Amino acid sequence: MNLKQLSKELNLSISTISKALRDSAEISAATKKKVQEKAKELNYHANPFASNLRNQKSNTIAVIIPAIANNFFSSAINGAESFAQEKDYHVLIYQTHEALEKEISVSKHLQNGRVDGIMISLSSETADTSHLAALKNKGIPLVFFDRVAENIDAPKITVDDYESSYIGTEHLIKNGCTKIAFLSISNVLSISNNRKKGYLDALKAYNLIQDERFIVDCNYDEAANKLKIKNLLSSTDKPDGLFASVEELAIATYEICNEINLNIPLDLKIVSFSNLQTASLLNPSLTTITQPAYEIGREAASVLFQLIENKEVDATSENIVLKSKLIIRDSSTAKTANNIATTKKELAQTLLG
């Protein structure tokens, strides 16, 4: 069913039909009604590719992320998709699986106008961003979120990584940690470096020595990460606090502590960036720095639409920094041994009835 067939049905020209359907002022109310009714009756829907071709517009955005099976990113997509659906836009998803190569390949695929705009969160390998600069140079609206390319002039939606890392580290220090490890995801990502800087500055502010051994550069290889963490936690001079810059690393740490019988928080206190819904149900409950993932996605989409519609964005939207929240739970709390023992005894008593 296309315009030509409709035009035959109605004995009107194709252009009249098209204009009627698009509610043009050139068409009389009567024929508009007639046309629209017939279109509905025959279940006519404009061919999107013909429209896109003619209008040079796709009503589609792309979201490029490292991985979708991740609470932060899936929530961000949720936000973006919800916003897009309200605007009658379509959302294409691409995963890079933390590989620069994939990111480049996807970028190339999107150079041809398939989408009206792109939201991206960088892979942890992405140091060189020329493939993204190329997109921007082609005039394709581009918005970064969470993991941003600092050297590209495009709107960036982030959270207060430095501040919250500082506060998270400070929290560990105030709870008695003196040897705090930092698990990093990437040494090229600005976000990772900001988090590291917050951590380092907190150490400095409290006159704690920073041990290079305590900074562990992790990556996408889960097994390798676990090995590194295990080595650290098994060493003689091991840390008494740990700051995980992403949730996956905190989970790995929990598993390792179970394995090698370290008690959290007694032997090791943990704070982690995380969007786990179950953080409070973990054993022990996990102290998290939680990012407003849904809002980040929504905001990024919103700014992207501004860019698409106006071809520019007001200064206040250029760099939006949302606040993340430190949610203090048991994994970082300075209970004394006595406290805990008492609690446990009480519990045991309760259980014995």
Partner DNA sequence: TTGTTAAATGCAAAGGTTTGCGGCAAAAAT
Partner DNA sequence: ATTTTTGCCGCAAACCTTTGCATTTAACAA
302, 81 contact by CB (below 8 A)? no
Joined together, the tokens standing for residue 295 give: 């809002």
19, interface contact from DNA, a second copy, none, CB < 5-8 Å by kind: DNA
By beta-carbon proximity to a second copy, the closer residue of 11 and 43 is 43
Pick between residue 53 and residue 205 the one whose CB is nearest to a second copy. 53
Stretch that binds DNA, among 27-35, 189-197, 257-265, 303-311 (CB under 7 A): 27-35
46 binds DNA (CB under 7 A): yes
Which residue type is seen at 144? F
What is the smallest separation between the CB atom of 47 and a second copy, expressed in angstroms? 6
Residues 6+ apart with CB under 8 A from 178: 208, 240, 241
CB of 252 to DNA, least distance (A): 46
Residues that bind a second copy (CB under 8 A): 43, 45-50, 52-53, 58, 60, 67-71, 74-75, 77-78, 81-82, 85, 90-95, 97, 102, 108, 111-114, 251, 254-255, 258, 263, 266, 276-278, 280-285, 294, 337-338, 340-341, 344-345, 347-348, 351-353
How far is CA 214 from each of CA 70, 172, 196, 223, 255, rounded to the nearest angstrom? 26, 15, 12, 19, 19
Q: Identify the H or E element spanning 181.
A: strand 180-184
DSSP collapsed to 3 states, 196-249: HHHHHHHHHHCCCCCCHHHEEECCCCHHHHHHHHHHHHHCCCCCCEEEECCHHH
The closest alpha carbon to 13, from 3, 25, 24, belongs to 3
226, two tokens? 């676990």
Is 343 among the residues that bind DNA (CB under 7 A)? Answer: no
Helix residue spans in 42-91 (DSSP H): 48-55, 71-86
> Given the complex with a second copy, which of 285 and 306 has the nearer CB atom?
285
Tell me, residue by residue from 50 to 79, as one string, x for binding to DNA by CB under 7 A and - for no binding: xx-xxxx-----------------------
Minimum Å gap between C-beta 77 and a second copy is 5
According to CB under 7 A, which one of 15, 231, 263, 278 is a site residue for DNA? 15
1-26 burial: b if 16+ Cβ within 10 Å, else e: eebeebbebbebeeebbbbbbeeeee
Closest to a second copy by CB, 268 or 313: 268
| DSSP conformation class of 44 | -
CB nearer to a second copy: pick between 65 and 313: 65
Interacting residues of 325 by C-beta distance below 8 A, sequence separation 6+: 289, 290, 292
Q: Report in angstroms how near the CB of residue 22 gets to a second copy at its nearest.
A: 15
Is the peptide bond between 155 and the residue preceding it cis, with omega within 30 degrees of 0?
Answer: no
Report the residue number, 30 or 209, with the smaller CB distance to DNA. 30
Q: Does 88 bind DNA (CB under 7 A)?
A: no
**Residue 30 binding partner per list a second copy, DNA, none, with a CB distance cut-off of 5 to 8 Å that depends on partner kind:** DNA
Q: Which of a second copy, DNA, none is residue 328 near (CB under 5 to 8 Å by kind)?
A: none
Site string (134-173) toward DNA, x via CB under 7 A: ----------------------------------------
From 330, 310, 333, 306, select the one nearest 320 (Cα to Cα). 306
If the CB atoms of residues 14 and 188 are measured against a second copy, the closer one turns out to be 14
Task: Examine residue 43 and tell whether it contacts DNA (CB under 7 A).
Answer: no
Residues found near DNA in the complex (CB under 7 A):
2-4, 11-16, 18-19, 21-22, 24, 26-31, 44, 46-47, 50-51, 53-56
